[in-house]
Amino acid sequence: MCGLAALFEVGRRFDRELLSAIDADLFHRGPDSGGHLSEEGWALVFRRLAIIDPKSQSDQPMRSADGRQALIFNGEIYNYRALRAELEQHGVSFRTEGDTETLLQGYRTWGEGVLDRLEGMYAFCLVDLARNAVI
C-alpha cells in the first residue's frame, strides 16, 4: 500500500520541513516516488508504490491541468478502463494510463457522483479548490 497524508488547518501554510519529515516517515510505504503539494490551509503528501502505470506522469499528488483539484489516491479501481472510455466519449483527454487520473477526471466530469460509479478498493483525498471542498 502507498503512503498518504492530508493536513488541513485554516490559514496555515505547512512548511517544507514538516512535509519532508512526513514524506520520510512514509517512505517505507512507497519507495518508487514521492512528493507533496500544499497551499494555504492544506497539504497533501504521497509515497508511491507504482503498480498501475508506473510512469512518472502518474506520480502524486496529482493536480488537474487547470490547478483546481488535487488528489492523492491508493488502491485499485477495477473498472477504471470502462470509466476512462466513457470519459473519453465526453471529450476528456488523459495524460496517463492509470486509475488515479481516471478518478480525478471522473470527479471533474460527474462531481461526487463519480463515487457511485467506482468499483474497487481504495482510499483517497481530493481537494477541490473551485468548490472549497475536501472529498
Q: Read off the pLDDT of residues 25-80 as tens digits, 9 standing for 90 and up.
A: 888 887 777 889 999 999 999 887 666 656 666 667 999 999 999 999 999 999 99
* Residues with active-site annotation: 2
DSSP labels, 59-102: -SSEE-TTSSEEEEEEEEETTHHHHHHHHHHTT---S-SSHHHH
Q: Structure pTM? A: 0.89
Cross-strand pairs, 75: 122
CATH numbers and ranges of domains, the chain: 3-134 (3.60.20.10)
